[in-house]
Every structure is written in C-alpha cells, then in structure tokens.
Amino acid sequence: MPETIAARNPAIAHGFAFVTFNNNDCGEDTTLRNADGSWAFRTTRFYPAYPNYDWGLLAGWAWGVSRIVDYLQTDPSIDKTKLIVSGVSRTGKSALVAGAFDDRIAMVAPVASSGGGTPAFRFSGAEHGGKEGLSEMMKKYPNWFSPHLHEFWGQAEKLPFDQHWLIALAAPRPFIALEGASDQNVNQNGVRQSWLAAQPAYALFSATDRLGVSWAERPHGMVQGDWDALLAFADKFLLGKNIERRFDQFPAQP
C-alpha cells in the first residue's frame, strides 16, 4: 500500500485494514416527516423492508455495520476474530449499538458519542448535570431513537435501563469510550456513571481491565490522541502486546 495512503489513516499505518461506509445508505439522517406525521426516513433505504419495526436511525446504521461484518467474515484477507467498530458523534452512538448486539465484533470503541451514547441519561442533560441528555436528544434528534424514548422526556430517572446496558452487553469483549476533556456535548459524570455501572458485567467474566476509557484534549470530534488510545487498547487486548498505558483515568473534577 502506498505510504501516502497509510499515513492518512492511523489504523492503516498501524497495520489494520480500515473499512468505512456511508451510514445514510442504510437510513437517511433526516427529521422530515410525512403528511401523516410519520418519519420520512422510514420510506427510504432499507426501512420499507421492515414496516412493522420501530427502529430509529441509530439501530439502522448499526444494522449496516452488521451487514459489513457478514462480508468481512468471508474475506480471507481479514482476521474475523479481531474486528473493531468505531465511529464519531452520531456514528459513535451507532457503533455502541452495533457492538452491543453483534458479538462478532471483537472490540467496541465509540468516539465522542455524547447524548444517546456513552453518558448515562440519568446523569446528563439540563435536569441531571448539564450537556446532552435525554430531553435534549428528544428535542434535536428524535429520529435517531425508538419513539418510546420520548415518553421519558424530563424524567430520565424513570427509565427502566440506561446507556450502561449497551456497554455491559459488550462484556467480556474489550470496550473503550474515547472522550474529549473539553467536549461541549459530553457530561463527564454521565460517562463515569455508565462506566461504573457496567463494571459488574465485566467483573462477572473477570474482565474489568477490558472496560476502558480515554480522555483526549479536544472539544467534540476526534484527534490523534483518540487514535493513539484506540490502537493501544487494541494492541493490548486483541494482539496481546505489553502496553503500560492505563485506561481507567478520568479528568479531575473541578
């Protein structure tokens, strides 16, 4: 592979294959509604094939990840035991969903997933400590979620489960939350509470070290520091390399 191509992508430079796809090919990221009030995205892409399902777009994009995994399992050039799913912001949320429900994915690494991603709803949003929470997501992007989530607007504390369940479903596979210390959308305590609440699932498998978190110095987005943590985590838990770096540190609270 030409050096210039590898240099553009840290995963390729590190020796991994890199697969990307347009999530809008699976579900159109629009909040437009039809005349009857139903979501317009349900009339496009693959959604008409599943008329009786109430999947939001995050689940639809996660479905696309699993279809890519279907193919990768047939490609002899790919080690299907070491597949990693990642994504940034909204696709970080869908990476979280994909990793929770497809155990063929060996490592889960959402980046800057913010509201509806790694931070617990019970500890995020205007009612619960600030940044993006349940009510904010229902106001801005209700199309991403099940319509039932709207029932908990303003009362996230009444949810029957929270975002840590998605993390716990990945156990005992390696999971790392890649966050920004200055991310304007991420409630740091929300991430901490999800991370702590998922610990028992990993403890059940004696795998608490496989539940990681990393904080890069950045606002919302992804920087080299996120790549460095993701690849070091993969080196340690997928490739068995001796990595001294810790993956259980949180920013100091003010």
Structure confidence by residue, pLDDT tens digits, 56-91: 999 999 999 999 999 999 999 999 999 999 999 999
Q: What are the tokens at 148?
A: 């039932």
Report pLDDT for 7: 53
Q: Are 239 and 168 in contact (CB under 8 A)?
A: no
Looking at CATH, the fold of the domain delimited by 62-141+156-237 is given as Rossmann fold (3.40.50)
Decide if pLDDT at 3 tops 50: no
Could you give the CA distance from residue 149 to residue 152 in angstroms, rounded to a whole number? 6
Q: Is the dihedral of CA 179, 182, 186, 187 positive or negative?
A: positive
Query: How confident is the model over 227-252, as a mean pLDDT?
Result: 97
Could you give the CA distance from residue 65 to residue 85 in angstroms, rounded to a whole number? 8
Sequence letter at residue 39:
W
Does residue 225 come out as left (phi exceeding 0), alpha (psi in the -120 to 50 range) or beta? Answer: alpha
Cα–chain center distance at 142: 17
Report pLDDT for 59: 97
Q: Are 100 and 166 in contact (CB under 8 A)?
A: yes
Q: What is the percentage of the chain residues whose pLDDT exceeds 70?
A: 97
Q: Are 225 and 216 in contact (CB under 8 A)?
A: yes
Q: What are the tokens at 240?
A: 């068995």
Reduced to 3 states, what is the DSSP secondary structure of residue 51?
coil
Count Cβ atoms below 10 Å from residue 177 Cβ, excluding itself. Answer: 29
Average pLDDT score, the chain? 95
Decide if pLDDT at 1 tops 50: no
Reduced to 3 states, what is the DSSP secondary structure of residue 77?
coil
Report pLDDT for 2: 41
Count Cβ atoms below 10 Å from residue 15 Cβ, excluding itself. Answer: 10
Tell me the residue length of the chain.
254
Report pLDDT for 167: 98
Please write the tens of the pLDDT for every residue from 99-150.
999 999 999 999 999 999 999 999 999 989 999 999 999 999 999 999 999 9
Q: Are 226 and 214 in contact (CB under 8 A)?
A: yes
Decide if pLDDT at 8 tops 90: no
Decide if pLDDT at 184 tops 50: yes
Query: How confident is the model over 202-207, as a mean pLDDT?
Result: 98
Report pLDDT for 254: 58
Burial of 224 (0-12, 13-18, 19+ CB in 10 A): exposed
